[in-house]
Amino acid sequence: MSTQVKCILIVVVGLLLAVPLYLLLAGGPGRPDSPNLVRAESGVQLVMGTFARAVAITDNIATGNQCVESALDEINNVDNLMSDFKEDSEISRVNRDAFARPVKAGPTTFEVIQRSIEISKLTDGAFDITVGPLVKLFRTARDTGKAPAPDQIADAKAKVGYEKLVLNDADQTVRFTVEGMSLDLGGIAKGYAVDKAIEVMQQHGALGAMVDIGGDVRCFGTPPKGKETWIIGLQDPNTNAGPGLFLKLKIGNAAVTTSGDYQQYAIIDGKRQSHILDRKTGKSVQGLSSITIIAQNATTADALATAVTVLGPEKGLHLIEDIPNTEAFLISPAPTYKLTKTTAAQKYIKEPPASK
């Protein structure tokens, strides 16, 4: 389960920052083998509590700019609907009122909640958007530096569980069966926003595109100048070694999400704690430094990255092996930083690390 503070993904050109993924683009618009194609870019935008960027490959700059602008509009729309930091968002309204009465959600928010429950069932609750009460405890602990008391954790855990969430598909309403429940879409909303942005770029004529939001990337179609595929660089989690790449991944029509504890964490009672929470223990998860999921869409990749983090390497890899067209790269904690991956993941590696 993830808070809204998720691993940050920034797409950069010629600038190396301490982030889990990099999109590696060639400089300059167009492609040498397709001189009529141009690249439009949004630049780095602050949205959904993190950084976002959209890139479109089109046959004219006007179309490209329209694609990028529409993508950003979609991302902001999802944020306005699903941010629990915004009091007037749909998810905040659900959290306030859904125990007292069924609350009608718009089609976009309802779709994300439905998809969340599907993934909760698939992962046996390792991913669960009802983790809101535990997230609130984590945020307080992060701010104060002091861990919550056992009775506080027990009280919050009693309010968590997707089984306590009731959806009415016909009316598109949401109801809580336990008072004090709350939803946190931080582990899926960014991925969903990426998918919606890619969808609208396709509708507006993009021949290829990439969208990234804070750890979630999806690419399709024609890649940047001179490239056969989109190239994503996975940061080395060994931050003591300085900024550097652990792997380069070649991505065509797919999504890639990375989550980990080496960028987003809190110091609580003097110990480093992950921002991802296990609903069964009510505490931060331990055991993996970095989790990268490749899937057909960013919604799925986003949620599965959280689930695998909670499940751990053995159960996590087993889960991903059973899901078609989905792969995982897992990096163990310091000091080993050992890479393990699913059976077919090798096909995505462009440049494997010599020493890993």
42: pLDDT strictly greater than 80? yes
Q: To which residue do tokens 């003591």 refer?
A: 240
Q: Which of the two residues, 238 and 44, has the higher pLDDT score?
A: 44
> What's residue 215's pLDDT?
77
Q: Which of 279, 112, 114, 96 shows the shortest CA–CA distance to 186?
A: 112
Chain-centroid distance, C-alpha 39: 25
Query: What domains sit in the chain, N to C, each tagged with a CATH number?
Result: 90-176 (1.10.3980.10)
String of DSSP letters for 280-343: TTTEE--S-SEEEEEESSHHHHHHHHHHHHHH-HHHHHHHHHTSTT-EEEEEPPTTT--EEE-T
Indicate if the pLDDT at residue 57 is higher than 50. yes
pLDDT at residue 206 is higher than 50 = yes
- How far out from the chain centre does Cα 154 lie? 28
Q: Do strands 349-351 and 245-251 pair parallel, antiparallel, or not at all (unpaired)?
A: antiparallel
pLDDT given for residue 23 in this prediction: 59
pLDDT higher than threshold 90 for residue 32 = no
Q: What is the pLDDT of residue 35?
A: 61
Confidence at 240, pLDDT banded by 50, 70, 90: low
CB 45 within 8 A of CB 53: yes
pLDDT band at 4 (very low <50, low <70, confident <90, very high): very low
- The string over 47-64, giving b where at least 16 C-beta atoms fall within 10 Å of a residue's C-beta and e elsewhere, is bbbbbbbbbbbbeeeebb
Mean of per-residue pLDDT scores for the chain: 87
Which of 20, 18, 13 minimizes the C-alpha distance to 214? 20
Task: Judge residue 273's burial from the number of C-beta atoms within 10 Å of its C-beta, 0-12 exposed, 13-18 middle, 19 or more buried.
Answer: buried
Section 22-29 average pLDDT: 48
How far does CA 275 lie from the centroid of its chain? 13
List residues bridging with 265 in a β-sheet.
274
For the chain, give the percent of residues with pLDDT over 70: 86
Q: What pLDDT is attached to residue 268?
A: 80
Compute the average pLDDT of residues 271-276. Answer: 77
pLDDT of residue 77: 97
Mind listing the pLDDT tens digit for each residue in 73-114?
Answer: 999 999 999 999 999 999 999 999 999 999 999 999 999 999
For the cut 90, the answer to whether the pLDDT of residue 299 exceeds it is: yes
Written as six digits, the tokens of 176 are 């809580």
pLDDT tens readout for residues 130-185: 999 999 999 988 888 998 999 999 999 999 999 999 999 999 999 999 999 999 99
Q: What integer pLDDT is reported at residue 3 of this predicted model?
A: 39
Between 17-21, 73-77, 187-191, 318-322, the lowest mean confidence (pLDDT) is in: 17-21
The residue among 119 and 8 whose pLDDT is bigger is: 119
Question: What mean pLDDT is predicted for residues 291-297?
Answer: 97
Provide the pLDDT for residue 107.
97
Q: How confident is the model at residue 29 (pLDDT cuts 50, 70, 90)?
A: very low
**DSSP code at position 229:** S
Split at pLDDT 50, 70, 90, the class of 323 is very high
Q: Is the pLDDT of residue 320 over 70?
A: yes
